[in-house]
Amino acid sequence: MDDATTANAHPSGHHRVTVAARRGAYNSYVQDQLRQERATSEQAQTLHAQAPKRIRAMTDARTAAGLPAQPSKDDDSTSHYHVVERMLDEQAYYPPHDKRTESPAYAKVHHLMTVVDDQPCLVCGVKHSTLANTAQNPFGAVQMETHHHSIEWALANGIDAAKFNARMRPGLARHAQGRRLDHPEYGEFDAAYGADMTDDQIHQWVDHAYDNLWVLCDVHHRHKFVGIHGITYPIWGPQDVVNSDMLDHALEEAKSTKSDV
C-alpha cells in the first residue's frame, strides 16, 4: 500500500485513514503544541521583564492612594472580618458620541422616579423625601440619581441592533407583559418590544427607558469604595443585604483609613 495515499475505500463502504494521514495529523498536533508552549514561554519572559516596572507602578499607586506599599494579609480570615485590597486596572473603550446633555425625556422619567414616586436607593434605601433625615440617610447622600444599568449612555453608538434585538429585547418583552405602571412614560417602549427595534429606538431606550434606569443615591452611584462606578459589581451588588455587623466593620475600616466614604 502506498503511504502517500491519504485514504482508500474499505469493503464496509467507510474510508480507512492511512499511515500518512495519521502521521500528518500527529505532526500538526505537535506543531500546534510547540506553538502554544513557545507563546506561553514568550509571555512569561515578557511578564518577568516587566515585573519590576509593574511592581513600582503598583507601590506608587498605593502610596498615592494613602495605602501601605505592601498589601496587608489577614492569616485568620475564617474568624475575623477582613479587608481584601485590590487595584483594578481598567481600559474602557467608547464609541464617538456627543457631549452628554440631559434630554427632556430623560429629565421627565428621572423626575418621576426620584421625586414623584420617591423611589429609594437600591442600596441604602434613602429617598428624595428623607435626604434631610440623618436616621434614614446613614451614608449622608445629598441627592438622588438614576443609573443607566443595562447599557451606559456613552455606549449607545456602539450597540449592534441585531444583537440587542436577539439578546435583550425578548427578555424586555416578557418583563413588560401584564405589568401595570404608574406613569405612561414608564411603558413608553413596551409596544416596541414586540418587534425588532430600530437603531433610533435603541438610542432612545438607552437614554431614558424605565427598564434601563435604577434609582441610586449619589453615594452608591459614584462614591469611592461603595459606588457602582467605583467598585466591581460582585462587591457592589450585595451591599443592600449585608448584616449590620459587617456594615459596622466596613464603616470602622473606612474611618480608620481616612476614607471619604
- Residue pair 158/95 in contact by the 8 Å Cβ criterion: yes
pLDDT in the model for residue 75: 47
The residues near 222 (Cβ < 8 Å, ≥ 6 apart) are 145, 229, 230
Q: What is the CA radius of gyration of the chain?
A: 28
pLDDT in the model for residue 7: 45
pLDDT in the model for residue 254: 60
Nine cell digits for residue 58: 503598583
Question: One digit per residue, pLDDT tens: the chain, 261 residues?
Answer: 444 444 444 444 444 557 777 777 777 767 766 776 676 667 667 766 777 777 777 777 767 766 666 655 544 555 666 667 777 777 888 898 888 889 999 999 999 999 999 999 999 999 999 999 999 998 899 999 999 999 999 999 999 999 999 999 999 999 999 898 989 999 999 999 999 999 999 999 999 999 999 999 999 999 988 899 988 999 899 988 988 888 777 777 666 655 555
pLDDT in the model for residue 255: 61
State the Cα–Cα distance between residues 139 and 261, nearest whole angstrom. Answer: 8
Q: Alpha helices, DSSP H only, in 78-147?
A: 104-111
pLDDT in the model for residue 5: 43
Helix, strand and coil percent figures for the chain, each rounded to 5: 50, 5, 45
State the Cα–Cα distance between residues 46 and 42, nearest whole angstrom. Answer: 6
pLDDT in the model for residue 123: 95
